[in-house]
Chains A and B, each alone.
Chain A
Amino acid sequence: MILESRGEKYFDLGKLCFKKAKFKKAKKLFLTAISLNYQTSACYLHIGMMQLLEMEVSEAFKTFQMVLASSESLGEVYYYVGKVFKIFDNFQEWESNLKKAILYAEGEIPRLLALEDLENKVDKKEWKELKKKSFSFYLIRTHIPNDEELLKKALTARLEKKWEEAIQLFNEFLSTYPDYFQGYIELAKIYLKIKKPHLAYRILKRFLKQFKKPRLVLRELAKTSFLLKKHHEAIYYLKKLIALSPKSPKLYFNLGSALASTKQYNKAIWAFKKAIEFNPKFFDAYYNIGCVYQENGFVEEALDYFNTALSLNPEHAETNYNLGLIYYEIQDYFQSLSFFMKAHALNPDLKEALFNFEVIRNLKTMENNVIKPLELNMASKISLAFTLVFLVFSFIYLFKWI
């Protein structure tokens, strides 16, 4: 009994430290609670969450596996396991784990976050069903801490797309609990959702100033800097992210886009090629390499990459359009016109394709396309005369010699 109450004390303290992003201390407290045999699964779950937040993905996954294997398995763990699968680009597992989280999680926050992540990923009917389940499950907990209650309200408003109300609630959360890190991240996410990256950026900077833990918001920071066209900053954060998860094609793609925007084309091509290395069917990466090569005059390379892109997505109007220009450059006018025609057929708003088609047709109408007979200018006539004279003299010399 005494051990349990001591364990509870350490666990509660650990949770408090976790909320304040004091992860080292929190980890120690949770480990002490585990040694006192108090809510082992919940302690490991929190340790896993901290590992995941600090981008120690494989360690976090192992810890979550321990939670799943234990007898007192917690439903919340599915949400975090799902997040790990998302990092590994396994979207099927991600989805199924989020659904499990909605069904089995006791806490409201992971349920709401899982529901939010599933929006637009499952069909509307299923999502409504999941929403119903996730909302009705509030009855499970009777004593919800005040901070979680406020966070729950804010997340619900965000789910309902009542942006102003959600922002107001998050601001209330931040003024009441300025030491809790989650409010900052969630508020930044709202600003990103309503396409106000400058406000998200401001919140994230405030977070950095307060917690000095960039790892927790690296992804958000990279995204906001990218959206705000602060490409050098985006490159900095993306490189850090890549160092933490070096096999993510999307991160390499984002890095490539940022590098190309700062005109570092060689590095951008390297990054896009890396993205292709980890995902050989990455259409956008092929297309972007084609664009970079085309912009720098490497027509053959651009042609290769655009053709591969086209084999992955033949209905992409812009690829067809750019191929039209490349074929024009290499003087294959039939192909060029075909691609412009196709580009316009695929996207009737792409008026440039139609314009280019007409320009080429008109240019070719004005040209003589038959092979012209050999015409000699003055220089070639003189040179031919000299050659003949030289040949005659050579013959005379040879004749005399014989």
Chain B
Amino acid sequence: MEKLIAQLKFLREQDEKEFKYHLRNLLKKKQTEGAKAFCFVVSEFKREILYDSFFFIDILNETLFYFFLEEKEPFELIMELIHVAGPVGNKDTQDVLKQILKKHPQHSSFYPTLMNYYGELNHKISFLEQKIGELKLHAPKSMIVDWHE
């Protein structure tokens, strides 16, 4: 495992795109090995996952939901994942949090944190929905029209 992580860290310096795909694959693989293994990989590459969250958020959401439904994993580990996914989450994360909040006891010490993340995501998404009209891509770059001697 450590060798694999070292290899990935080496790849990160060489080829960023390749590194992202390998990290995605590793996360998918660790999903089947349980929350502990998954959280270990996430903590090793937390900076990359947060910075390039778009590339990993679908796996985080999926894993979070899977671990929560299975009810086998300790909730502390699930919370560890929520701490990563919450601040960079999308609408799917919001849905997963909604599901967790529905089933999670209100007197739990994690409940306010969960509620906080859910509220933040809700705010972020509704803010973006208001601004949807402005979210337009810039046009393609034009041709090279220099004179070639």
Contacts and interface: CB of A to CB of B under 8 A. Distances in A.
Nearest to A275: B148
Interface stretch (B40-48, B89-97, B109-117): B89-97
A355 B137 CA distance: 8
A127 interface: no
Nearest to A250: B148
A226 B148 CA distance: 11
Contacts of A147: none
B55 A287 contact: no
Contact of B145 (A257, A338, A366): A257
Contacts of B54: 333-334, 337, 360-361, 364
Question: Which label, helix, strand, loop or mixed, suits the secondary structure of the A interface?
Answer: helix
A221 to B, nearest CB: 12
Contacts of A257: 143-147
A227 B58 contact: no
Contacts of A360: 54, 137
A295 interface: yes
A134 interface: no
B90 A359 contact: no
Given A338-B20, A362-B128, A369-B92, 8 more contacts: A254-B148, A284-B144, A284-B146, A295-B140, A337-B54, A338-B16, A360-B137, A366-B132
19 contacts: A226-B147, A227-B147, A254-B148, A257-B145, A257-B147, A287-B143, A291-B143, A318-B141, A325-B137, A334-B54, A352-B138, A356-B137, A359-B135, A360-B54, A366-B91, A366-B132, A368-B91, A368-B92, A369-B91
B148 A362 contact: no
A322 B140 contact: yes
A365 B61 CA distance: 12
Contacts of B147: 223, 226-227, 254, 257
B97 to A, nearest CB: 14
Contacts of A364: 54, 90
A24 to B, nearest CB: 30
Contacts of A370: 61, 92, 95
Interface string B114-149: 000000000011001101100111101111111111
B72 interface: no
A321 interface: yes
B17 interface: yes
Contacts of A318: 141
A369 to B, nearest CB: 6
Interface of A: 223, 226-227, 250, 253-254, 257, 260-261, 284, 287-288, 291-292, 294-295, 318, 321-322, 325, 328, 333-334, 337-338, 352, 355-356, 359-370
Contacts of B146: 257, 284
Contacts of A356: 137-138
B3 to A, nearest CB: 26
Nearest to A282: B148
Contacts of A295: 140
Nearest to A252: B148
Given A321-B140, A337-B55, A352-B138, A284 B90 contact: no
A269 to B, nearest CB: 11
A365 B91 contact: yes
Query: Which residue, of B90, B146, B148, has the highest number of chain A Cβ atoms within 10 A?
Result: B148
B140 A365 contact: no
B141 A291 contact: yes
Nearest to A291: B143
Given A254-B148, A338-B20, A369 B58 contact: yes
Interface string B13-34: 0001100100000000000000
A367 B140 contact: no
Contacts of B138: 352, 355-356
A367 B129 CA distance: 10
A339 B147 CA distance: 28
A367 B17 contact: no
A292 B140 contact: no
A367 B143 contact: no
A-B pairs with the 6 shortest C-beta distances?
A352-B138, A250-B148, A318-B141, A365-B90, A291-B143, A288-B143
A321 B92 CA distance: 28
